[in-house]
Structure 1
C-alpha cells in the first residue's frame, strides 16, 4: 500500500525510457519559466493564430475559475531549435542541459505571456495592439465577458490593463489613476477593490502541466497525439512536420505548407485550407491513404526527399488551381465544393502536367460530377483511396474515369456554404448566368466581390417568411447601408429593374411575385426555375450520373 500511495502521489507513468509526469503550477510560475528561457517554443510549432475573441474568452475563463486545459511540455537534453521570441517578446537562449519544449498550449501560453508580461507602452495603432487587453471595472452585468481590447488612444480609467496585474508598481500606478480621474474618483474604493480581486484571481490561477521526460521526438509527438489537453489529436500535417523537422533547415513542413497557401492566394484564387496541400504532398510520395497513414513511418520514409516532394506538390497545386479557374470556371477558392478535389487534381497534374484537350474535358466532367454526387461527403476514406487510384490511372493513360453507381444529390433546402452541394450549385449558377449588374445598371466586379466578402456577398432578397433561408432567396447584389435587397430592387425604374433582375437569374414569374409582395411565391418561382435549369445541366454534363430514385425534385 505505501508503494501504491507513493505512485499515486507521483502520478508518473513509465513506458520504456519515456515518463509522463503531471503537476500543477501557478500561472505566474509557468510564465516565469518562459520568461527566463527554461520553457521553449520549438520551431516546428504552428504560428500564433488566435482571434481576439479567443484571447478574451481565455481571460474570462481564468477569472471565473474555469479550466483552460493542461499544458504539455517535453523535457529533453536533445538539441531542438526554438523561437527566440514568444508573442513578440524576446526570451533568453535555452540553458545548457535539459530543456522543456512546449508541445501543446502554444496559443494559450502566448496569449497570457504576451498580455501579462509585455511592458506598458502607450496603446495606439501598431502591430502589437492586439496584445493590449483590459478588464472593465464596475460593469453592471457580471455575467458577460468583461474583457476587451483597446488600441485606439488612452483607455478610460475604469479599464484595468492586464500588463499591470503581475507588477505591483504598475498596479499601484493604475490605482492612483482611478483616484485622480474625474470619471472614476467617486468610486475609487470599489473599483480598486475589484481590480485587486481580478489580479488575485489571475495570480492564484493554477494550470495543470504534463511533463514528458526522456525519449525522442517520435515519442513526444506520439504522446502529443494521445494526451492533447483540448480533447483533439494533433493534426497529421503538424505530426509529420514535427517528425521531419531538421535542425539544419530554417523551415518546417508547416512553414512550407503555409508558403504554398500564400502563393496560391497571391495568384488571385484566395486562401485554401492546409489539408489538401498536405494531402497532395503525402499522395506524391506514393502513399494511398492520405487521411490515415502511419505518419511516423511516412516521416521516416520521406525524410531526405521532403524538399523535392514539397516543390513538386507546389507546382502540381498551381496547375490544379489554373485548371479550376480557367477550365472549370471556379473564380475563388472558397467555392470549391470539396477540398479533396484540389488534392486529386494536383495528383493528376503531377503525373500529367500537359493533358490533351479530351483529357482536360473529361477531368472537368469528373469535377462537376463529384461536386454533385456523394463521392466526398462524410470523409469516406475508402472512397477517397479508390478515387486516388482512379486519378493516377487516368493520368497515366491506364484507364478512363468512371462514376458508375454515384448519384446526384438534390439541392439542399437551406443556404449553407459549408455544404459542398450548395457550393456546387453556386458555381453552376455563376457560370450559367454570367455577368451580374448592380443597382446603377453597371457590371458588378463579381470575382473581386466574392473574394473580398466570401459567402456574405450572397444577400437575402426577402425576409419575414418561413422559406427565407432557401438558396433561391440569395443573390449577389450590393445595396446602400441599411437598405434591403428587396427594397433596393423595387426602387429601380421598371426598365432597369427588369435588366438587373434577369442578370441575377430572377425569372419574370418570380419578379412578378416580388412586385406583388408575394414573398413565398417569389422564392417558390425562383426555386423551380433554378432547380430545373441545374438538372438540365447535370444531365448534359454528368453522362453517367443518375438522379437518386425518388429525389429528383428535391430542393
Structure 2
C-alpha cells in the first residue's frame, strides 16, 4: 500500500539491515544527516569500542531514520567526505545514530578525494578515521582495534578497516602481508577473513518513521527514547523550529556561543545550560519543560532575539564568575543552574549595581556551599528563576535563609559541587603557588589541561588518602613523587613553597617524618579554618561541624 505523504499520520516501520547496505545508503546520498544534528563529537576510544562490539556480535543500538517528501538542509560531508545530493524525494534523515554511522562510514568506506587514505596521517582529523585491527593478538578480552598516529607505517599485522568491505582491498592487504617475513601468515589472513565476514554479515536494527512533519517525527523519537535519549532538548527544539531558508539553527547558534566562550575558559558550558538560558531570557517560566513540541511552538517567534540577548547576558555572567567570584574555568562552576540564573539576571538587569553585586556574590557562595541546587526539581528551578528575575528588576531580594554551608569535605572528587566550591576558594586564597625550585606554577593552565589529575596525592596510601588536604598542584620531575619533592625542598625556598600551597608548619613537620595521618589531619584543619573565615566574611551561615562527608551531587 502506497504511503499517503500528505497525511498527518506517521508510520513506524522497524527492520533489520546489513551494515553494508546501510552505509551504501549514505554513499548514494539517500540517507542524510540533518543540519540540526550536533557535529561529530565521539572520542577515538569510543570509535574503537564500537568496532570491538561489532566483532564480538554485541548489539550497538538501533538507528532511527525519518523518511519524508520534505527536503531539509543536511550535512554536505560525513567523516570529511562529500556526500552526493539525493535526486528527488522521498528523503531519509538520521534522527538518532549519527555518531555511530559516521564512525562506521568514516572508518570502513571513507576515501577522501577518490584516492586511497594516507598512510601517515598527521592530525587527528585524519588519523581518527584510520582504525586497524591487530591480527595475532592473543588476549581475547582486550580491545584489538587501534588508531595509528605515528608517521611510520603500521606493522604488517595491522589490518586497516578500510580493506574489510571490498574484496579487492582485502586481497591487496593479504598479498602485502604474504610478502612479509612474519610467521603464521596463513593464520593471520584467516583471522582477517573472519573479521571481514563478521563485519559484512553484521545486522543493525533500523526504525523508520515514514511521513508526517518534523514535529511528529521528533515527538515519536522522544517517546521511543523516553529514557537516555540521544537527541538533547536543545537539539529537539532546534529541529522543531528549523527553517529551510539557510538561517542558522538554534543548535548552530548554541555551538557558536560555546566557541566564543572558549577563549576565556568557558567553552565547556553544556549546550543544555545555554539552551535553558535562552528559554529563560525568552520569557519561559519553566526552562526544564519536557514537552519539546509545545515548547518549540511557544518560543519559535522569540528564539532569534532571545539567542542574541543570551549571548550578551551569558558573557556578562561569565565575566561575573571569573572577575567577581574567581572561577577561572567552567569545569569548576558548582552547578550549571547558577550559570543559567546569572544569565537570566543580566538578561533583565543588563548590569549589577554595587548592592546587587554584593548579594549575588553571597548568593553564589551560599548556594555552592549549601548544596542548594543538588538534585533541584523543576518547581525549585522555576521558583529560583522567578526570584532571580524579580531581584534583577529591583522588586525583591534573594532569599538565602536556611542555606547552611556544608563542612570541609573529607573526600576529593570533582563530581562533588562542594569540592568544586572548595577549589574555587582555594585558588583565590593560594593564588601564587611555587614549584620545588621556587618558580611560579600556572595552576589554571594545568587544570585546563589535566582537570582533576592536576591535583596530585602527597601520600599514596593511608586511612585519609582521599582527603582534599592530601592533594596539591605541584609539577615534579619525571620519576619524582610529590611527597619526595616536598621533603627534598631546599632550605632557601622551603617555607615559601609550602606556604604557597597552604601547608602549615605542623603539617610540614609531619611530612618530614613520613606521618601521613598527622600531615593530612593538620593541613585539613588548617584549610577548614581558613575556609570558615572566608565564609564568615562573605556572610554565609557556617556549618556546625568543621569537617564532613562530600556528597556527589549535581543539578
Counterpart-to-counterpart distance in 2, 1:118 and 1:334: 35
Counterpart-to-counterpart distance in 1, 2:303 and 2:519: 56
Asked if the contact 2:32–2:94 (Cα under 8 Å) also holds between the matched residues in 1, the reply is yes
Q: Which residue of 2 aligns with 1:6?
A: none
Q: CA deviation at 1:250?
A: 4.3
Does 1:554 pair with 2:554?
A: no
Q: 1:29 to 1:263 in 2, by over 3 A?
A: same
Report the secondary structure of 2:385's partner residue. Answer: helix
Counterpart-to-counterpart distance in 2, 1:553 and 1:442: 32
Counterpart-to-counterpart distance in 2, 1:389 and 1:229: 28
Q: Which residue of 2 aligns with 1:9?
A: none
Q: 1:470 to 1:368 in 2, by over 3 A?
A: same
> Which stretch shows the higher mean deviation, 222-231 or 76-85?
222-231
Structure 1-normalised TM-score? 0.93
Q: CA deviation at 1:141?
A: 0.9
Q: CA deviation at 1:529?
A: 1.2
> Which stretch shows the higher mean deviation, 398-407 or 43-52?
398-407
Q: Which residue of 2 aligns with 1:542?
A: 539
Report the secondary structure of 1:400's partner residue. Answer: coil
Does 1:303 pair with 2:300?
A: yes
Q: CA deviation at 1:23?
A: 0.3
Counterpart-to-counterpart distance in 2, 1:16 and 1:121: 45
Report the secondary structure of 1:54's partner residue. Answer: helix
Asked if the contact 2:68–2:90 (Cα under 8 Å) also holds between the matched residues in 1, the reply is yes
> Tell me, which stretches of 5 or more residues in structure 1 are unaligned?
1-14
Q: Which residue of 2 aligns with 1:123?
A: 119
Q: CA deviation at 1:497?
A: 1.5
Alignment of 1:451-530 (within 5 A): 451-530=448-527
Deviations 1:489-540 (A, max 9, x none): 1111134111100110001111111011101110111111111221232233
Does 1:139 pair with 2:133?
A: no
Report the secondary structure of 2:207's partner residue. Answer: strand
Counterpart-to-counterpart distance in 1, 2:141 and 2:26: 32
Q: Which residue of 1 aligns with 2:224?
A: 227
Q: 1:161 to 1:230 in 2, by over 3 A?
A: farther
Asked if the contact 2:12–2:209 (Cα under 8 Å) also holds between the matched residues in 1, the reply is yes
Q: 1:333 to 1:68 in 2, by over 3 A?
A: same
Q: Which residue of 1 aligns with 2:553?
A: none
Structure 2-normalised TM-score? 0.93
> Tell me, which stretches of 5 or more residues in structure 2 are unaligned?
1-6, 550-555
Asked if the contact 1:412–1:554 (Cα under 8 Å) also holds between the matched residues in 2, the reply is yes
Counterpart-to-counterpart distance in 2, 1:230 and 1:135: 34
Q: Which residue of 1 aligns with 2:414?
A: 417
Report the secondary structure of 2:246's partner residue. Answer: coil
Counterpart-to-counterpart distance in 1, 2:386 and 2:297: 23
Q: Which residue of 2 aligns with 1:188?
A: 185
Counterpart-to-counterpart distance in 2, 1:497 and 1:304: 63
Asked if the contact 1:41–1:101 (Cα under 8 Å) also holds between the matched residues in 2, the reply is yes
Q: Which residue of 1 aligns with 2:38?
A: 46
Counterpart-to-counterpart distance in 2, 1:231 and 1:441: 49
Q: Which residue of 1 aligns with 2:166?
A: 167
Q: CA deviation at 1:258?
A: 1.0
> Which stretch shows the higher mean deviation, 130-139 or 152-161?
152-161
Report the secondary structure of 1:385's partner residue. Answer: helix
Q: Which residue of 1 aligns with 2:400?
A: 403
Task: Specify which structure has the bigger relative contact order, considering alpha-carbon pairs within 8 angstroms and separated by 6 or more residues.
Answer: 2
Report the secondary structure of 1:103's partner residue. Answer: strand
Report the secondary structure of 2:511's partner residue. Answer: helix
> Which stretch shows the higher mean deviation, 230-239 or 467-476?
230-239
Q: CA deviation at 1:324?
A: 1.0
Cα RMSD after superposing both structures: 1.7
Question: Which residue among 42, 45, 48 is the counterpart of 1:56?
Answer: 48
Q: Which residue of 2 aligns with 1:205?
A: 202
Q: CA deviation at 1:298?
A: 2.1
Q: CA deviation at 1:546?
A: 5.2
Q: 1:293 to 1:171 in 2, by over 3 A?
A: closer
Counterpart-to-counterpart distance in 2, 1:464 and 1:454: 22
Deviations 1:41-71 (A, max 9, x none): 1111110001111100100110110000101
Q: 1:269 to 1:97 in 2, by over 3 A?
A: closer
Report the secondary structure of 1:398's partner residue. Answer: coil
Report the secondary structure of 1:209's partner residue. Answer: strand
Q: 1:234 to 1:224 in 2, by over 3 A?
A: same
Q: CA deviation at 1:229?
A: 10
Deviations 1:263-295 (A, max 9, x none): 111234453222221110010111121122532
Deviations 1:225-272 (A, max 9, x none): 122398436321111111111111342211111111111112344532
Q: Which residue of 1 aligns with 2:3?
A: none
Asked if the contact 1:71–1:229 (Cα under 8 Å) also holds between the matched residues in 2, the reply is no
Q: Which residue of 1 aligns with 2:71?
A: 79
Deviations 1:66-86 (A, max 9, x none): 000101000000121111211
Does 1:371 pair with 2:365?
A: no
Does 1:21 pair with 2:21?
A: no
Does 1:278 pair with 2:272?
A: no
Q: 1:151 to 1:540 in 2, by over 3 A?
A: closer
